Structure 1
Amino acid sequence: MMEIRKLLKTSAFRAPWPTRIGGDVVASLMQEPSICKKCKTHSCVTERPMLLGSVCSDGLTYFGTSVSGIHLVIYGLTSLSNREVLGKKFGTQRKHELKGRAISQSDVNNWIESIKQLDKILQEERDLDLGEKLEALHETPKLAEEIKIAAEYLIQGKPGVTLEEKFNASSRIEKTIFKASQILVDTFDLLTVFLNPDSAGLGELISVMPYKLIHKLTFILSTQSDERTKKIVNFVGSCRSEYKVFDSFKIIPMALLNNALKYSLGNQNVEVHFEEQGQSTKISIVSIGPYLDDDEIKMIYQRGYRGASAKKINSAGMGIGLYVAQAAAQANGTTIKASSTLLKTKLNGHDLARNTFTFYAHDAPSRGRSG
């Protein structure tokens, strides 16, 4: 959808009616009526219109939908149903300006469907181009795995009983090599699922202890070069269960932990809650960060979507982490669910909230993705 917005901004490709994409007015064959230009409230944008159509306080019709996580609004129109009302409300000059702006629901549906098809084609072309560029790196994941094994061998030779103790006993250079090798391998795994979501449900099932896996991810992801910025991750509850899952399972906690550490604000710690429930374990990752409204919670798993607060805090993100994590979750027979509880405080202009991302660990379905 980002590419479509850029195309429309060039004026080489025009929308048939006045249109806003992500709040920006784009080039259109039909110009904005003067009513819209003078409008102070812009309710067509702020009130999240429906695809079935809404009517603003000035009596004009607008339609809205979401394409690849970006809001699209068609506005400044009249509908067949409210044309008679407008005829009584406006004078001759205003009625003349609005002439030819009556559209049907099918007109809107057909154009939006064409936009979605174009978005799909552009996305497929982008993936193909990316895949071709990455083909030259096809040996790199193997090399990254070898580096990871060598780094783990270095750490295992240090004094201590647990991996964390051995890690803490290592030199700063050894810690950096170990952390970088782990993240490098995990990044290649994430990229594989990004390019082909179905791959999250392929391969043999492996035995994983979620508590042990997440504990390892925690001290890898939370280790910073500047100790003053290091985030503390607290574990609440425990889990000794072991489950048969796909290798993609590790992407779920990795992406959620990475997001929690990246977007938690102030000196707030991140919490990981474990609750064993029969044949499964409920796992929740909790952090204090920017508030997520209901619309944003619906869109955060869409490919390429990034919320306004996320962009301000970290402009370098690509909006793929939660998309890939949800694909991995579904392949392993679960679904990530998010909630955001607004707190009565602000920080750096952000409304703070207690953000919770929850999924369940259990034996994965043998054939991968479930509903």
Structure 2
Amino acid sequence: MSDAWKLFPFPTIADDSLSDGSLFEVHADCRRCPTRECTLDETTENGAPRQCRFGLTYARIDRDRVLAGVVAPDLPNPTTRTKRRIRLERNRHVSSARVRRSVDVVRALGPGVVDSFEAGREVALAAVKSDPEMQRAVAAQLRRDAENDLNQSHDFMQMVKLVKGYAEALLRERLPKLSPEDAAEQLHNEGAIYFATQLMVLKMDSLQYINELNRAAGGESTFGVHPLVLKYKRIYDWTAKQKKLRIFLGSTHRQVHYNGHAIGTLIQALLDNMVKYAPARSEASVEFTELAHSVEVRFRSLGPRIEEDEVLGIFMPKVRAKAARVAESAGQGIGLAAAKQISDSLHLGLACAQDAIEDATFPGFYMTTFRFELVTSG
């Protein structure tokens, strides 16, 4: 379908895919754009020309694709950057009326040409859900992408660990009788460096579980569920405090027998998701329900809307719900994918559920629960 868009006169963008038009190639600045905010604009009516922060004109075609990288010289209230492009990029001039007319024409051809969000997504998701071969193919491609990320991050990981070592040395020098975690909680500047590097190391460790399917198995030991969750909560408390997010931790004395690093990575991913997306000044919780031979762990917090057909996708590498991308621009969609990989390997049943009604205090946010279950030992 992407080849058909080369017949459209102007360049288009759909997710991370850029297509040249028949009259204009993709603008070099669109290829380099760090945000592609034009693809996240879901409020503008289809076909209405708008100016992006870099001064280029875009217009929404449907919920998946935008026309981008032209310069409409007749836009009302042009920004300084737009005025500069109008002056210097005359070869990119396209009137607002022509932009709107081109979108209207292609939309009139129907979903077979537009490949609209409504027509295409249900077919694709149904195929992924029902076809094991397609599931394996998607997973294999995403793992190859993750392997590239892992190889590229090796040198950066070494640097992060070096900085973490320096931070620990500073903490020992200032408060030699305390553990690094306790000292970091008492020293603001040194603690900020320590916890920031801790988070970097934890997040980059997640890549290992995307790339190495069997890494979660083996190396088992017996440990308490509550102490492990508390360990990672303490690391995230520093970040949570910056946005005045209160995280309540329940209690359980149950012990389990698993690979502790793998379970820790799963817990870290859910805490990271919680702290990243919960609104400032809200409350979140980690709760435990003790069953006959297991303990259920639930991470509950407010989060942006997850559409029903996006639940499957949020556990895939580099895939994030659209509302999450609007609420938080940062994020690679790796943490939850690693958590799901670990859960599937160890049969933990990681799942996500969300209330249908938005929160009364924080409009646009919904109570979201991630849960998994650990078999208890003894």
Same fold (TM over 0.5): yes
1:355 is matched with 368
2:20 is matched with 10
CA RMSD of aligned residues (A): 4.5
Deviations 1:173-228 (A, max 9, x none): 3422432343233123212223x141532451133322112122223212149x56
1:295 is matched with 309
1:24 is matched with 65
1:45 is matched with 117
**Secondary structure class of the residue paired with 1:300:** helix
Q: Describe how 1:96-111 pairs up with structure 2 within 5 A.
A: none
Structure with greater strand percent:
1
| Residue 65 of structure 1, CA deviation | 4.2
- Which of these residues, 160, 185, 188, is aligned with residue 201 of structure 2? 185
Whether contact under 8 Å (1:340, 1:353) holds in the other structure is: yes
Give the Cα separation in 2 of the matches to 1:21 and 1:205: 49
Whether contact under 8 Å (1:192, 1:199) holds in the other structure is: no
- Which of these residues, 244, 258, 261, is aligned with residue 230 of structure 1? 244
What residue identity is the alignment partner of 1:9? Answer: S
**Secondary structure class of the residue paired with 2:372:** strand
**Secondary structure class of the residue paired with 1:222:** helix
Change (3 A) 1:46 1:315: same
Deviations 1:291-338 (A, max 9, x none): 323212222101211112111111111111111111122233312111
Whether contact under 8 Å (2:172, 2:180) holds in the other structure is: no
2:290 is matched with 276
What residue identity is the alignment partner of 1:37? Answer: A
Kindly indicate whether residue 209 of structure 2 is the aligned counterpart of residue 209 of structure 1.
no
Whether contact under 8 Å (2:157, 2:204) holds in the other structure is: no
Give the Cα separation in 2 of the matches to 1:147 and 1:331: 36
Give the Cα separation in 1 of the matches to 2:246 and 2:318: 28
What residue identity is the alignment partner of 2:314? Answer: I
Give the Cα separation in 2 of the matches to 1:304 and 1:249: 21
What residue identity is the alignment partner of 1:222? Answer: D
What residue identity is the alignment partner of 2:355? Answer: T
Runs of 5+ unmatched residues, structure 1:
14-19, 52-63, 70-108, 365-371
Change (3 A) 1:253 1:228: closer
Whether contact under 8 Å (2:161, 2:197) holds in the other structure is: no
Whether contact under 8 Å (1:290, 1:353) holds in the other structure is: yes
Deviations 1:34-92 (A, max 9, x none): 6942779x9953477643xxxxxxxxxxxx547999xxxxxxxxxxxxxxxxxxxxxxx
Kindly indicate whether residue 268 of structure 2 is the aligned counterpart of residue 258 of structure 1.
no
Whether contact under 8 Å (1:223, 1:230) holds in the other structure is: no
1:89 is matched with none
**Secondary structure class of the residue paired with 2:356:** strand
Whether contact under 8 Å (1:270, 1:288) holds in the other structure is: yes
TM-score of the superposition, structure 1-length normalised? 0.62
2:149 is matched with 130
TM-score of the superposition, structure 2-length normalised? 0.61
Kindly indicate whether residue 349 of structure 2 is the aligned counterpart of residue 335 of structure 1.
yes
| Residue 241 of structure 1, CA deviation | 1.8
Change (3 A) 1:147 1:243: farther
**Secondary structure class of the residue paired with 2:262:** helix
What residue identity is the alignment partner of 2:117? Answer: V
Change (3 A) 1:180 1:135: closer
- Which of these residues, 333, 336, 343, is aligned with residue 319 of structure 1? 333
Whether contact under 8 Å (2:303, 2:367) holds in the other structure is: yes
1:95 is matched with none
Structure with greater helix percent:
2
Give the Cα separation in 2 of the matches to 1:221 and 1:201: 23
| Residue 230 of structure 1, CA deviation | 2.6
Give the Cα separation in 1 of the matches to 2:318 and 2:164: 28
| Residue 339 of structure 1, CA deviation | 0.7
Runs of 5+ unmatched residues, structure 2:
3-12, 26-60, 68-101
Deviations 1:144-172 (A, max 9, x none): 7856875886798446xx9976654x322
What residue identity is the alignment partner of 1:278? Answer: A
